[in-house]
Chains A and B, each alone.
Chain A
């Protein structure tokens, strides 16, 4: 039994007589359907998780890591001078695209979530923040830190990359784990179908013997089983995928920045990926049953 277009056509078209030679089995059929559906449902979530983590890793990695902050804490009188010195120094640093001191209003906006809107920033010893945007190549943080130390004693370089890197790595790892889960799910479907097919082949040993006595080739016998399990996996996985997609759609919406959990879902062409789950499950079932049938039939006289 080969994975040829002709085989698939024969499978799709079906052979009523060939289907009837194997007695129907209600219970295993329902179990196979159920497991295929459950696995497809899980696969949709694993894929959604993986893709969302991938997006997050990409966006954190790109936008955020290219911005860093210089924080200047200085006595009231020296603040302006030190800020100007730091800006001058930053502008001369290679790898810095631009540097800009945040205005009082911007700083207030940053602090607002913690202290409320009425905080008089000007009257408090709040450090001055300078936003540094890197160029594509980036600057050398260690060198910049040394020079700042020498020329602007109150300045501290806050290189976001330092604390973001582990987060980006974690998101990338989550992405990988999602794909590994999807692969494991596919393997589980294969294992489950192999077990079910072996059970069906064993339970129908007499049917196989009779078919063989009247001149059935292995392909004919195998096809009766392969067709069943492929259709069951396809049907179950289609139902599971549909439920999984509905569940993903029902996730509360939120912008990507609002958080990781609300970003769970598919974007744009990624919607096509879960649609691949049912045909893939069918292909896995097809191969698993064909291999099981070949092994069992090959062992007979």
Chain B
């Protein structure tokens, strides 16, 4: 699905990430941890083509991102659902329309989608807030809306950046269950998080690999978690 080979990245100063290799195979479940500022968000951005590596190779579904034009990147986003750390929405449209935005943008908005949308919103517990505008949402509600938006296209890969950062334990369990369920349906999942408790809870449900960024490199975290 997504492959990184000897990737290095720098924002202009020193290298933030170097000599980093990673393969997200179909149906795999990965966690990504590391101290704040280690480059988790940066790594995710490399994975969905928002950043291009300063050296090395990133392949999205088999094609090298350095050879993909803007439209090719845009089209690949329809196969990768992303939950951003700073969930951004179209602030003038209600939550329901924001969640359905990937469908509208892909020209796949169909009359029958309302039922799916309602179900999805119920799943993330936003039924009552469907007509609210994004600025009126709480931090946790924004993250749940972002997760719903990330999965509405039923993408092959879901990348989630701190998806449980602002929600209580119970809600984070629910979000995790949703992601685990998606993984059981064959989706590839990568979650960046600080929350070790969440990782432990996930390990009880799926076979998850834990990756850690330290000293600019990617390491597989031990079983001691």
- Identify the A interface with B (CB < 8 A): 17-18, 20-21, 23-24, 206-207, 209-220, 297-298, 301
Say yes or no: B78 contacts A20, CB within 8 Å: no
When C-beta atoms are compared, the residue in chain A nearest to B88 turns out to be A210
In the complex, what's the smallest C-beta–C-beta distance from B151 to chain A, in angstroms?
12
Asked whether A210 lies within 8 Å of B89 as measured between CB atoms, the reply is: yes
In contact, A217 and B89 (Cβ under 8 angstroms): no
- Cα–Cα, bound, A298→B74 (Å): 13
Question: Which one of B51, B70, B75, B90 lies within 8 Å of A210 (CB-CB)?
Answer: B90
In the complex, A212→B90 CA distance in Å?
Answer: 12
B146-178 interface with A by 8 A CB criterion: 149, 153
Which residue of the partner chain, among A20, A211, A213, A216, contacts B82 with CB atoms under 8 Å? A213
Residues from chain A with Cβ under 8 Å of B104 in the complex: 17-18, 21
Given A17-B109, A21-B101, A211-B105, residue A217 in contact with residue B75 (CB < 8 A): yes
**Nearest Cβ in chain B — how far from A241, in angstroms?**
33
Choose from A21, A206, A219, A301 the contact partner of B50 (Cβ within 8 Å). A301
Pair A218/B90 contact, Cβ less than 8 Å: no
Per-residue CB contact flags for chain B residues 79-116 toward chain A (1 = under 8 Å, else 0) read: 00010100011111100010001101110010000000
Tell me, yes or no, whether B187 is within 8 Å of chain A by CB: no
On whether the beta carbons of B88 and A216 are closer than 8 Å, the reply is no
Which residues of chain A are within 8 angstroms of B92 by Cβ–Cβ distance?
23-24
Q: Is the CB of A215 within 8 A of B105?
A: yes
Expressed in whole angstroms, the minimum distance between the Cβ of A2 and any Cβ of chain B is 14
Determine how close the nearest CB of chain A comes to the CB of B152; give it in whole angstroms: 9
CB-CB nearest in chain B for A218: B70
Determine the distance from Cα of A20 to Cα of B77 in the docked complex, in whole angstroms: 21
Alpha-carbon gap, A21 to B105, bound state (A): 9
- Interface pair B77/A214, CB less than 8 Å apart: yes
Whether A214 contacts B71 by the Cβ 8 Å rule is: no
Partner pick for A215 among B77, B84, B88, CB 8 A cutoff: B77
Q: Of B51, B74, B82, B84, which one neighbours A217 at CB under 8 angstroms?
A: B74
Q: Which B positions have Cβ atoms within 8 angstroms of A?
A: 50-51, 70-71, 74-75, 77-78, 82, 84, 88-93, 97, 101-102, 104-106, 109, 149, 153
B interface SS class: loop
| Cβ–Cβ < 8 Å partners of A215 in chain B | 74-75, 77-78, 102, 105-106, 153
With known contacts A214-B101, A215-B106, A216-B105, A21–B90 Cβ distance under 8 A: yes
Q: How far is the CA of A135 from the CA of B28 in the complex (A)?
A: 96
* Residues A297 and B70 in contact in the complex (CB < 8 Å), given A21-B90, A23-B92, A215-B77: yes
Structural contact, A209 and B88, CB atoms closer than 8 A: yes
15 contacts between A and B (CB under 8 A): A23-B91, A23-B92, A210-B90, A211-B101, A212-B77, A213-B84, A213-B88, A214-B102, A215-B78, A216-B74, A216-B105, A217-B70, A218-B70, A219-B71, A301-B51
Chain B residues within an 8 Å CB radius of A209:
88
Q: Which 7 A-B pairs have the closest CB atoms?
A: A215-B77, A23-B92, A216-B105, A215-B78, A17-B104, A214-B102, A217-B74
Which residues does chain B contribute within 8 Å of A18, judged by CB atoms?
A: 104
Query: A24 CA to B50 CA in the complex, in Å?
Result: 28
In the assembled complex, which residues on chain B have CB atoms less than 8 Å from the CB atom of A23? Answer: 90-92
* Chain B nearest Cβ from A62, distance in angstroms: 59
CA distance A211 to B51 in the complex (A): 17
**In the complex, which residues of chain A have a beta carbon less than 8 angstroms from the beta carbon of B71?**
217-219
Complex: chain B residue closest to A219, CB-CB: B71
Of all chain B residues, which has the CB nearest A298?
Answer: B70
Residues in A neighbouring B149, C-beta threshold 8 A:
214
What residue in chain A is nearest B51 (Cβ atoms)?
Answer: A301
| Nearest CB in chain B: distance from A209 CB, A | 7
Chain A residues with CB under 8 Å of B75's CB are 215, 217
